[in-house]
Amino acid sequence: MRFLDEYRDPAAVGRLITAIRAAVTRPWVLMEVCGGQTHSIVRHGIDELLPPEVTLVHGPGCPVCVTPLELIDRAVAVASRPDVIFCSFGDMLRVPGSGRDLFAVKAAGGDVRVVYSPLDCLRLAEQNPGKTVVFFAVGFETTAPANAMAVKQAKQRGLTNFAVLVSHVLVPPAMEAILSSAANRVQGFLAAGHVCTVMGTAEYGPLAERFRVPIVVTGFEPVDLLEGVLQCVEMLEAGRSGVENAYRRAVQAVGNPHARTVVEDVFEVTDRKWRGIGTIPRSGLRLRAEYAAFDAETRFAVAGLAAEESTLCLSGLVLQGLKKPHECPAFGRECTPQTPLGATMVSSEGACAAYYHYGRRKGVAG
Amino acid sequence: MMSADFANLSCPVPVADRDRVLLGHGSGGRLTADLLRSVFLPAFGNDVLNALEDQATVNLKLDIRHSTFDIDHRLAFTTDSYVVRPLFFPGGDIGTLAVNGTVNDLAVGGARPLYLSAAFILEEGLPLADLRRIVESMRAACTTAGVTLVTGDTKVVDRGKCDGAFITTAGIGLVPAGVSLSIHNARPGDQVIVSGTLGDHGIAVMSVREGIEFETLLESDTAPLHELTRVMLEACPAIRCMRDPTRGGLASALNELAAASTVGVKVTERDVPVRAEVRAACEMLGLDPLYVACEGRLIAVCPPGDADRLLTVMQPHPLGRGSAVVGELVGDHPGIVTLRTAIGGERVVPLLAGDQLPRIC
């Protein structure tokens, strides 16, 4: 398949591995920021090919993992209403709230649907004038443009039976929080390529300069990921910090100005709570006042719902790269993919779920 | 006084809409009889079904065409329910699935499929034209598979209580003496063969459901596998087991095998046949083709020395053209399926907790 096979070419992968081995002289800890990258690393077995000096830790860039528990509870409350059609990307359905997940709501009679695009919800809203169609707008800068476009189009079309439950988060503030932590051990970043496709690379310069770290914009296929690792290792070995782009086929320095305009038109930056990490200032997006009519939290009065996390779950430390999943006492015991205590055990992008399957073979899990 | 005109008398109760399935079609009354005589019997009619007894009584001895009935033959018996949305999709419909699926469950056990039952749960309002089309597909599939539908049932539920039509079929077949296939039989060193490209059915159905279009028409692989399994067993009686990778695809079938036989399975990604369209759709939707359903493919496990001979008889067969060895069984990591990735890495292919869920980004 064109545009895919060449980035999964075993010969190219072999050359990059050889180059990384040649470049590395001592141990380095790199964080791949995006859950899509974690998924690809595990799916292709990339971490197994790297020399032992290079440790990849998995970052907070999994939207399923960082969406706070109370937002899931609010989603469950909204989706349970008989006058609502609740739409979500597929993998949010299995994330447990304090009580139940969206699959359980569906089983109990709620109208919960999986969509591939928020724009599908507008069609649903037009077809179901007697119901309010609510879209669960989660994700990073990558999903924000389409979600913003859906809200914008709803307003243009005068659709009053459409709303969004917003839990958008932003990557650079999370990286800043990780780097600011006294316990931080991340020495270089593979920045999330698709986020940069939208936002460009300008936001990362100040971070790289302030914390003296290399940040390499990296893609998702094996060759992309290994090019990112090689570039990051070369920068670390040379003592260089700064921002470099190893994903030039998709990312331009300015990002996608049109997409950014739509996002800025509909959303504004706000403080946002991250599951397992806590509140990070100016780390999320919320609807601007002129689009407040589309805010499901106010429309259905669920903004007050609060929730308590399991005290056993260490997913916050895992998301910050401070703990490996199997270092959590609950891992593989109280917490498994069938009985997840934290979202990192739920999502296929979640580090704990990936480790559970992988570690089981190594005899790590119970 | 006007004389009565009996010739023009008509019943004032309106004639019911006969273009669609009505609740009355499941009542057991006249409408049920009408449906039976106008739709089901013309399609499936045979002496056993036409007798309209409460049960089918069949003579096994008469129906063994390729071997004489032997006391050592064993009876294979299976049942499966079919629910699919949409009811019609490229390459088939719920009717073809309901026949082929049950035929295949018998075939991969080494059985020669003989008789089927079919129980229909129909939704009030289903166009009768759709029902006729489904029944015609079933008739054609039965003919192709050489099976006879000998008993059935129809129920109708209120509109909204089912998705057009649900069909449950059961099948019986005969396993010849000496054939003993079981997922408990596999051993380290055995080879894993698949009979063709994976995931065609699942992606063909999903593409219609989600409105994804390809440059070429991707069709479901639904097909009866009994002839393929027959030539395979003739060529290689030592086959340990066969499975049809329906729900959960290759990955789930191999996990079941690994658990049942207490062996490890090593799959080589490079050797797994997947069509470019299926790969592309899986990439777009965030799905793994190893978990996508097939309805006309099988997995066979055979001793190491038999793989080439099996491929030699499978590849000339229309339903085995894409046959390939995709992996082997190993003694280490029993119960676990691993994948040697195309780039040389290794990962576990676990049994999923539920359906594959499309990822966010």
Give the pLDDT confidence score for residue B217 in this predicted structure.
Answer: 80
Lowest-pLDDT choice from A252-266, A327-341, B179-193? A327-341
Give the pLDDT confidence score for residue A93 in this predicted structure.
Answer: 87
Task: Tell me the percentage of chain A whose pLDDT exceeds 70.
Answer: 97
Residues on chain B touching A42 (C-beta within 8 angstroms): 347
Pairing of strands A162-169, A132-139: parallel
Judged against a pLDDT cut of 50, whether residue A363 lies above it is answered with no
Please indicate, yes or no, whether residues B87 and B137 belong to a single structural domain of this protein: yes
Give the pLDDT confidence score for residue A242 in this predicted structure.
Answer: 97
Please indicate, yes or no, whether residues B162 and B195 belong to a single structural domain of this protein: no
Q: How far is CA B21 from CA A4, A139, B16, B149, in A?
A: 48, 45, 10, 22
Q: Which two structure tokens, joined as six digits, stand for B91? A: 């390459």
Helix (H, G, I), strand (E, B) or coil at A317: helix
Please indicate, yes or no, whether residues B146 and B203 belong to a single structural domain of this protein: no
The answer to whether residue B136 sits within a structural domain is yes
Give the pLDDT confidence score for residue A122 in this predicted structure.
Answer: 97
Please indicate, yes or no, whether residues B28 and B75 belong to a single structural domain of this protein: yes
Say which CATH number the domain at B154 has: 3.30.1330.10
What are the beta bridge partners of residue B193? B300, B325
Q: Delimit the domains of chain A by residue range.
A: 5-63+171-245, 65-169+257-299, 315-361
The answer to whether residue B83 sits within a structural domain is yes
**Do B341 and A348 lie within an 8 Å CB cutoff?**
no
Give the pLDDT confidence score for residue A336 in this predicted structure.
Answer: 87
Judged against a pLDDT cut of 80, whether residue A281 lies above it is answered with yes
pLDDT band of residue B11 (cuts 50, 70, 90) is low
The answer to whether A5-63+171-245 and A65-169+257-299 have equal CATH topology is: yes
Residue B76 burial by CB count (10 A; 0-12/13-18/19+): exposed, middle or buried? buried
Query: In terms of pLDDT, which residue wins out, B7 or A64?
Result: A64
Which domain, by its residues, includes B159? Answer: 23-175
Helix (H, G, I), strand (E, B) or coil at B235: helix
Q: Are A41 and A229 in contact (CB under 8 A)?
A: no
Q: Are B103 and B226 in contact (CB under 8 A)?
A: yes
The answer to whether residue B356 sits within a structural domain is no
The answer to whether residue B278 sits within a structural domain is yes
The answer to whether residue B8 sits within a structural domain is no
Q: Give me the mean pLDDT over the A302-331 stretch.
A: 85
The answer to whether residue B10 sits within a structural domain is no
Give the pLDDT confidence score for residue B61 in this predicted structure.
Answer: 58
Judged against a pLDDT cut of 80, whether residue B14 lies above it is answered with no
A8 to chain B nearest CA, in Å? 7
DSSP assignment of B76-111: EEEEEEE--SSSEETTEEHHHHHHHHHHHHHHTTT-
Boundary-marking domain end, from B117, B141, B175: B175
Q: Give me the mean pLDDT over the B69-77 stretch.
A: 78
Please indicate, yes or no, whether residues B85 and B201 belong to a single structural domain of this protein: no
Residues on chain A touching B285 (C-beta within 8 angstroms): 116
Q: Give me the mean pLDDT over the A110-132 stretch.
A: 95
Residue window 105-144, chain A: list those with CB within 8 Å of chain B: 114, 116, 138-140, 142-143
Lowest-pLDDT choice from A7-11, B15-19, B170-174, B350-354? B15-19
Helix (H, G, I), strand (E, B) or coil at A178: helix
CA distance B357 to A94: 9
Q: Which helix (H) or strand (E) holds A274?
A: strand A267-274
Please indicate, yes or no, whether residues B207 and B292 belong to a single structural domain of this protein: yes
Phi, then psi, of A151 in degrees rounded to 5: -65, -45
Give the pLDDT confidence score for residue B67 in this predicted structure.
Answer: 53
Number of folded domains that form chain B:
2
Lowest-pLDDT choice from B27-41, B81-95, B300-314? B27-41
Question: What is the CATH number assigned to the segment(s) A5-63+171-245?
Answer: 3.40.50.11750
Boundary-marking domain end, from B125, B144, B175: B175
Give the pLDDT confidence score for residue A349 in this predicted structure.
Answer: 61
pLDDT band of residue B286 (cuts 50, 70, 90) is confident
Boundary-marking domain end, from B118, B150, B175: B175
Q: What would the pLDDT profile of A11-49 be if each residue is shown by its tens digit?
A: 999 999 999 999 999 999 999 999 889 889 988 999 989
**Contact with chain B for residue A194, Cβ under 8 A:** yes
pLDDT band of residue B7 (cuts 50, 70, 90) is low
Q: Which two structure tokens, joined as six digits, stand for A63? A: 């939207």
A361 to chain B nearest CA, in Å? 6
CA distance A34 to A139: 11
Say which CATH number the domain at B258 has: 3.90.650.10
Instruction: Select from A45, A90, A348 the Cβ nearest to the Cβ of B347.
Output: A45
Instruction: Select from A10, A45, A92 the Cβ nearest to the Cβ of B346.
Output: A45
Lowest-pLDDT choice from A87-91, A206-210, A212-216, A309-313? A309-313
**Do A63 and B336 lie within an 8 Å CB cutoff?**
no
Q: Give me the mean pLDDT over the A279-294 stretch.
A: 96
Please indicate, yes or no, whether residues B255 and B283 belong to a single structural domain of this protein: yes
CA distance A237 to A253: 25
The answer to whether residue B355 sits within a structural domain is no
Q: What would the pLDDT profile of B222-246 be if each residue is shown by its tens digit?
A: 999 999 999 999 999 999 999 999 9
Judged against a pLDDT cut of 90, whether residue A310 lies above it is answered with no
Give the residue among B122, B103, B100 at the shortest CA–CA distance from B112: B103
**Contact with chain B for residue A299, Cβ under 8 A:** no
A46 to chain B nearest CA, in Å? 6
Judged against a pLDDT cut of 50, whether residue B78 lies above it is answered with yes
Q: How far is CA B269 from CA A16, A44, A360, A364, B122, in A?
A: 20, 10, 21, 25, 42
Q: What would the pLDDT profile of B321-335 be if each residue is shown by its tens digit?
A: 999 999 999 999 999
CA distance A345 to A352: 5
Q: Which two structure tokens, joined as six digits, stand for A202? A: 């300008």
**B30 conformational bin, left if phi > 0, alpha if psi -120 to 50, beta if neither:** alpha
Residue of B nearest to A13 (CA): B343
What are the beta bridge partners of residue B155? B121
Helix (H, G, I), strand (E, B) or coil at B279: helix
A182 to chain B nearest CA, in Å? 31
Please indicate, yes or no, whether residues B170 and B210 belong to a single structural domain of this protein: no
Judged against a pLDDT cut of 90, whether residue B130 lies above it is answered with yes
Please indicate, yes or no, whether residues B169 and B30 belong to a single structural domain of this protein: yes
Give the pLDDT confidence score for residue B63 in this predicted structure.
Answer: 46
Give the pLDDT confidence score for residue B69 in this predicted structure.
Answer: 54
**Do B359 and A338 lie within an 8 Å CB cutoff?**
no
What 8-state DSSP symbol labels residue B115?
A: E
Residues on chain A touching B276 (C-beta within 8 angstroms): 1
Question: What is the CATH number assigned to the segment(s) A65-169+257-299?
Answer: 3.40.50.11740
Phi, then psi, of B243 in degrees rounded to 5: -140, 150
CA distance B240 to B236: 10
Give the pLDDT confidence score for residue B4 in this predicted structure.
Answer: 57
Please indicate, yes or no, whether residues B293 and B341 belong to a single structural domain of this protein: yes
Task: Tell me the percentage of chain A whose pLDDT exceeds 90.
Answer: 69
Please indicate, yes or no, whether residues B171 and B197 belong to a single structural domain of this protein: no
Question: Starting from the edge strand earliest in sequence, which strands make up the sheet with A214-218, in order?
Answer: A54-61, A28-34, A188-192, A214-218, A242-245
Give the pLDDT confidence score for residue A364 in this predicted structure.
Answer: 37
Judged against a pLDDT cut of 70, whether residue B6 lies above it is answered with no
The answer to whether residue B16 sits within a structural domain is no
**Contact with chain B for residue A67, Cβ under 8 A:** no
Give the pLDDT confidence score for residue B356 in this predicted structure.
Answer: 76
**Do B347 and A142 lie within an 8 Å CB cutoff?**
no
Judged against a pLDDT cut of 90, whether residue B15 lies above it is answered with no
